[in-house]
Chain A
């Protein structure tokens, strides 16, 4: 041991190479729900690979299992078959150090202030109050909510609530952020603004983002890659690279390249719906 400690750092091979932090690998994953009358196959043989720092969007018709897949990546649900690794290791249970999760707006605790909501995951692991406060304030600043920490969720608009949720997902600085239809409850304008905000936060933090949505426009607008899934049993039917330059702008929405991508996704979804 002593000898090892004497070695120069460059010669030590880290157990987890940093390049893998934030990588997601899904291999031959299946999910079967057992009900009283029958077994429902929700996902069948799903494989995908997400490189660190990529923005990947999952789309598909309702009930295609895209949220289920996300829950499995979060460790909130276990797959029936296949393997999922996050940063190179399986995820048998939620691990906020590796994965932050953002849900729809109802998931903020209404009895806590914005600040306390963001601090919640830190409080669970007994991080000292002062450190918690600093980290929460940094996270709120990052999502553009500096000065709103003392408000309760009911005093915040829908968009602001989702900013708090994102801050809560990022407060432990996990390399991966999973988002389950985070803007579904927002109105059209707020949704556009929040999309731009999310891209800004993503660019600033370099996280791997997996984002589930129903909106094809949102999918193409945000993503590096769009993964299209079929109706039950959920399978991956297409994997598109979105080559549009960044930063994305509102004008791109009416461009040919954008339209072509959106049409391609739509054709898949119409076929399976």
Chain B
């Protein structure tokens, strides 16, 4: 047990050490001239570049965040809703699932130029693109989550007199939460990717636009300041998902998604029959 504990602690410490090491390398490698500043500007010059144009970056961040939040609402809300319908009704499942699955394999970014024709180069086209981009995995995961609910659970609920609504609220939703959450994690990450990429391709605002513009004038510190902002956004999103997962930890235990946590939790106690 104690060996396990120390292994766990040192793994965490190691992670921090790696991050600190990478940050140090980011500063040192360009400073010592091992990597030209054009390819990798040092951390300090990146931060200074970002700070000196804080207003510009702030505005770009606001635009990008707005697009991300709206797309996230469409992608996750729509994905969960449609996934639930498709997952619980056999006919639409047979009709729609193969189409959605093959659509998921298409690099959707090829559609983005079409969206700009339809919706202009403002936020609307980014939101449309990122929504669809993040919608697919969320929907697929939700449908799978609902489909894989153990029929025994529903039968048991019925034997106890549960109505259809009670089965939905008390069995289907809690049983689907772990799979839906893993879908949200992928879908949400793709929304961020979708927004930033579409901003980099054709746009007039946002962090992706700044990165792309500064790259064309070879201003590496400003490019990396934008990259850093996107990085923080991804980290913040990840933290948010983790928070939700912790809130739903009770649901996760005992299901496949929670099995890794289970082993740690139940390793300590082996109850008798």
B162-175 interface bits toward A, Cβ cutoff 8 Å, 1 = contact, 0 = none? 11001000110011
Name the A residues within 8 Å of B265 (CB-CB). Answer: 155
Q: Is the CB of B162 within 8 A of A124?
A: yes
**Bound-complex Cα distance A189 to B272 (A):** 12
Name the A residues within 8 Å of B153 (CB-CB). Answer: 106-107, 109
Q: Is the CB of A76 within 8 A of B271?
A: no
Quote the shortest CB–CB distance from A207 to chain B (angstroms).
16
Q: Would you call B111 an interface residue if the criterion is a C-beta within 8 Å of the partner chain's C-beta atoms?
A: no
Q: Is the CB of A120 within 8 A of B160?
A: yes
Q: Would you call A234 an interface residue if the criterion is a C-beta within 8 Å of the partner chain's C-beta atoms?
A: no
Q: Would you call B99 an interface residue if the criterion is a C-beta within 8 Å of the partner chain's C-beta atoms?
A: no
**Bound-complex Cα distance A106 to B157 (A):** 12
A183-224 interface bits toward B, Cβ cutoff 8 Å, 1 = contact, 0 = none? 000000110011000000000000000000000000000000
Quote the shortest CB–CB distance from A79 to chain B (angstroms).
17
Interface size of A by CB at 8 A reads 36
Name the A residues within 8 Å of B262 (CB-CB). Answer: 154
A93-108 interface bits toward B, Cβ cutoff 8 Å, 1 = contact, 0 = none? 0111001010110110
Q: A155-B266, A193-B273 are in contact. Are A111 and B251 (CB under 8 A)?
A: yes
Q: Would you call B159 an interface residue if the criterion is a C-beta within 8 Å of the partner chain's C-beta atoms?
A: yes
Q: Would you call A153 an interface residue if the criterion is a C-beta within 8 Å of the partner chain's C-beta atoms?
A: yes
Q: Is the CB of A154 within 8 A of B253?
A: yes
Q: Is the CB of B273 within 8 A of A103?
A: no
Interface residue ranges of B232-252 to A (CB < 8 Å): 250-252
Q: A107-B156, A154-B254 are in contact. Are A159 and B273 (CB under 8 A)?
A: yes
Interface residue ranges of A146-160 to B (CB < 8 Å): 148, 151-160
Q: A94-B161, A109-B171, A124-B166 are in contact. Are A103 and B155 (CB under 8 A)?
A: yes
**Bound-complex Cα distance A125 to B161 (A):** 8
A73-113 interface bits toward B, Cβ cutoff 8 Å, 1 = contact, 0 = none? 01110000000000000000011100101011011011100
Quote the shortest CB–CB distance from A209 to chain B (angstroms).
15
Q: A120-B160, A124-B162, A124-B166 are in contact. Are A106 and B254 (CB under 8 A)?
A: no
Interface centre among B157, B158, B160, B175 (most CB of A within 10 A): B160
**Bound-complex Cα distance A61 to B269 (A):** 39
Q: Would you call B152 an interface residue if the criterion is a C-beta within 8 Å of the partner chain's C-beta atoms?
A: yes
**Bound-complex Cα distance A156 to B153 (A):** 18
Which of A76, A110, A189, A194 is in CB contact (< 8 Å) with B158? A76
**Bound-complex Cα distance A63 to B266 (A):** 37
Q: Would you call B150 an interface residue if the criterion is a C-beta within 8 Å of the partner chain's C-beta atoms?
A: yes
Could you list 5 examples of A-B contacts with CB < 8 Å?
A94-B161, A96-B159, A103-B155, A107-B156, A111-B175
Known: A76-B158, A101-B159, A160-B271. 19 other contacts (CB 8 A): A74-B159, A76-B155, A94-B158, A94-B159, A101-B160, A104-B152, A106-B150, A106-B152, A107-B152, A110-B255, A111-B175, A111-B251, A111-B253, A111-B255, A124-B166, A152-B254, A155-B265, A155-B269, A193-B273
